């Protein structure tokens, strides 16, 4: 094993992170090679810098004039130069400030400086690579984004374990705290370590736990840690901030877990993708938090993450990061975000209104809406009809939806103008009744 990796392992050995590291994670380190030497040269090479493989003229990267005309607010360095492996430092510090503003339960010393990753999918993958070995279990509620399975089972050969997302057999179901507790206790009696992925607002259900549910979830994780289970808890905050109901917990679960227990390593995966409406920019962030961690522990973890990034995607897009720095610093940024949030609130309210109407009531025996209070989506449980058959029938009418297995139909109301929502749902109800045997 490389001596640099061994040194990082020694630093992390007394902590939960050291015990959680996968075999790949143990081998990871950030090499003192081209990238590190280039960074040193950027600071000290005042005469000539012959380190980075870029074409430079007059000290600045060469940029095609036709491209420069499309990006007038960026210098050539901002537009086309390589970004640092860990991300543009100005963006990392700005995002950390954003996290603190949105999660008042956190303090700056509670978690690492966020590291830039090329989208939230990459964040999930990096977490799995660092902390998941083949055969290791990952606990997820049964309403989950399908790409989790591809990453966990397809790439890492892990094992997906699920529990029912919603409380079974109740008139007004909420997050299934009891099922979550039972799954954690079961894991604690069998395993030494476990990864848990928590995604709120949830894709595909659109449900965010209440404050009471969030506290109960954190307590359940602490109880499992007290039983001796080492936990890597990934908070997938892809849709963070899109909360439409006053009962939603508007802080990330990360704020509950970053200092909860010495056996809980919390990972926050978030980004501008949905929060700032830049889906194709591919800029996400990964942060770590753990009770008792020192600056040296966080540094070691970030070095391992940088090694994983360097050996897979090299770095995230630089121009996207510099554009986001300027956006986050804009004096109109907060007002613009508030305006967008109102658009989503209006669509959410219109869907709620439609679901209380006669068409929804007439179709209730076929399509039962699951609770939703946030995010981009809501879902129906299909009863007596196949979700896939309904999806195909709707597609024949020019309407796109997502079937999740045969049971659930997901509707992204985020992508439908508010005035078109009644028509969309009317077509869904009519089509469902047409499939009834």
Q: How far apart are CA 247 and CA 371, in angstroms?
A: 13
Domain with CATH 3.90.1150.10 in the chain: 333-435
For residue 229, count other CB atoms closer than 10 A to its CB.
21
Residue 370 reports pLDDT greater than 80: yes
d(CA 124, CA 117) in angstroms, rounded, equals 10
Q: Tens digits of per-residue pLDDT, 93-112?
A: 999 999 999 999 998 878 99
With bands split at pLDDT 50, 70 and 90, how would you rate the model's confidence at 121? very high
- Model confidence pLDDT, tens digit, residues 265-315: 999 999 999 999 899 999 999 999 999 999 999 999 999 999 999 999 889
- The domain defined by 3-29+85-328 carries CATH number 2.30.30.30: no
User: Which numeric CATH code is attached to 333-435?
Assistant: 3.90.1150.10
pTM of the model: 0.93
DSSP string, 310-365: HTTT-S--HHHHHHHHHHHT-TTHHHHHHHHHHHHHHHHHHHHHHHTSHHHHHTTT
pLDDT-derived band at 59, boundaries 50, 70, 90: confident
Q: Where in the chain is the domain with CATH 3.40.640.10?
A: 3-29+85-328
Condensed to tens digits (0 to 9), the pLDDT of residues 160-208 reads 999 999 998 776 789 999 999 999 999 999 999 999 999 999 999 999 9
pLDDT band at 57 (very low <50, low <70, confident <90, very high): confident
Cα–Cα distance, 431 to 362 (Å, whole number): 12
Asked if residues 190 and 227 have their Cβ atoms less than 8 Å apart, the reply is no
Q: What confidence category does residue 40 fall into, taking pLDDT thresholds of 50, 70 and 90? A: low
Phi and psi of 115, rounded to 5°?
A: -110, 140
Q: Give the pLDDT of residue 42.
A: 66
Rounded Cα distance between 113 and 92, Å, is: 7
């Amino acid at each position: 094993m490389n001596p640099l990796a061994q040194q990082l392992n020694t630093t992390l050995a007394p902590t939960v992170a050291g015990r959680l590291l996968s075999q790949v994670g143990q081998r990871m380190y950030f090499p003192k090679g081209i990238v590190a030497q280039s960074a040193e040269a950027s600071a000290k090479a005042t005469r000539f810098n012959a380190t980075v493989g870029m074409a430079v003229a007059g000290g600045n990267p060469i940029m095609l004039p036709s491209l420069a005309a499309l990006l007038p607010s960026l210098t050539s360095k901002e537009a086309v130069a390589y970004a640092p492996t860990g991300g543009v430092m100005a963006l990392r510090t700005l995002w950390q400030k954003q996290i603190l503003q949105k999660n008042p339960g956190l303090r700056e010393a509670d978690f690492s400086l966020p590291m830039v990753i090329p989208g939230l999918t990459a964040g999930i993958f990096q977490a799995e690579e660092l902390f998941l070995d083949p055969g290791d279990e990952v606990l997820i509620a049964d309403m989950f984004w399908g790409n989790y399975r591809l990453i966990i089972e397809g790439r890492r050969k892990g094992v997906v374990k699920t529990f029912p997302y919603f409380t079974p057999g109740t008139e007004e179901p909420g997050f299934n705290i009891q099922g979550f507790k039972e799954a954690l206790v079961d894991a604690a009696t069998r395993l030494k370590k476990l990864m848990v992925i928590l995604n709120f607002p949830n894709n595909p259900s659109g449900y965010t736990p209440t404050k009471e549910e969030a506290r109960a979830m954190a307590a359940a994780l602490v109880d499992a840690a007290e039983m001796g289970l080492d936990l890597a808890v990934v908070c997938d905050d892809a849709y963070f901030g899109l909360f439409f109901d006053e009962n939603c917990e508007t802080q990330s679960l990360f704020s509950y877990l970053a200092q909860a227990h010495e056996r809980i390593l919390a990972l926050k995966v978030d980004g501008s993708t949905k929060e700032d409406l830049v889906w194709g920019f591919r800029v996400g962030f990964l942060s770590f938090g753990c009770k008792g961690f020192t600056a040296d522990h966080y540094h070691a973890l970030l070095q391992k993450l940088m090694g994983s990034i360097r050996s897979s995607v090299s770095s995230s897009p630089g121009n996207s990061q510099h554009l986001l720095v300027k956006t986050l610093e804009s004096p109109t940024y907060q007002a613009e975000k508030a305006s967008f949030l109102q658009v989503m609130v209006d669509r959410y309210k219109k869907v709620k209104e439609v679901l209380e109407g006669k068409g929804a009531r007439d179709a209730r025996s076929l399509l039962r809406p699951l609770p939703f209070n946030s995010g981009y989506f809501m879902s129906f449980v299909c009863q007596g009809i196949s979700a896939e058959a309904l999806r195909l029938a709707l597609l024949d009418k020019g309407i796109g939806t997502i079937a999740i297995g045969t049971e659930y139909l997901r509707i992204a109301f985020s992508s439908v103008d508010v005035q078109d929502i009644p028509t969309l749902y009317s077509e869904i109800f009519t089509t469902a009744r047409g499939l009834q045997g």
